[in-house]
Amino acid sequence: MAETTHMVKSCRSCKRPIDPDRDWIERFLVEGAPAPPESRATKADLRQAVAERDHLLGQLHAMALRMLAKELSIASSPSLSDNRTPSQIHADMQRWIQNHELSQRSLF
């Protein structure tokens, strides 16, 4: 039966013997960071990925706006007879948010 010699490595900083197969952190300390995998993505692949990302971000933005409109109970634009200034509308929205937060807290 042939004996295998097991080379004991030591930690770079504290020099204690370690088993690099035991812990990935110790392996990282001994061997350093692994090399990144080679990318085989083409420019067309990258353009497609960017287009998909932009489409999904657009959908997410639209969904967030719909949720905000529903949360604020503003399903449509203000009526034409609404003659409030933008600062008055902002103050009304702030008041609504504060009242909504107070009512949510009182539930818990």
- pTM, to two decimals: 0.33
Question: What per-residue string of b and e applies to 83-107 under the rule 16 or more CB within 10 Å gives b?
Answer: eeeeeeeeeeeeeeeeeeeeeeeee
| Total H helices, total E strands in the chain | 3, 2
| Residues in CB range of 69: below 8 A, 6 or more apart | 75
Q: What is the mean pLDDT of residues 5-19?
A: 65
Q: How far apart are CA 104 and CA 82, in angstroms?
A: 28
Query: pLDDT by residue (tens digit) across 52-91?
Result: 999 999 888 888 887 887 777 654 555 656 677 778 888 8
pLDDT at 83: 75
pLDDT at 1: 46
One-letter amino acid of 92: D
Q: How far apart are CA 103 and CA 108, in angstroms?
A: 9
Predicted confidence (pLDDT) at residue 92 exceeds the cutoff of 70:
yes
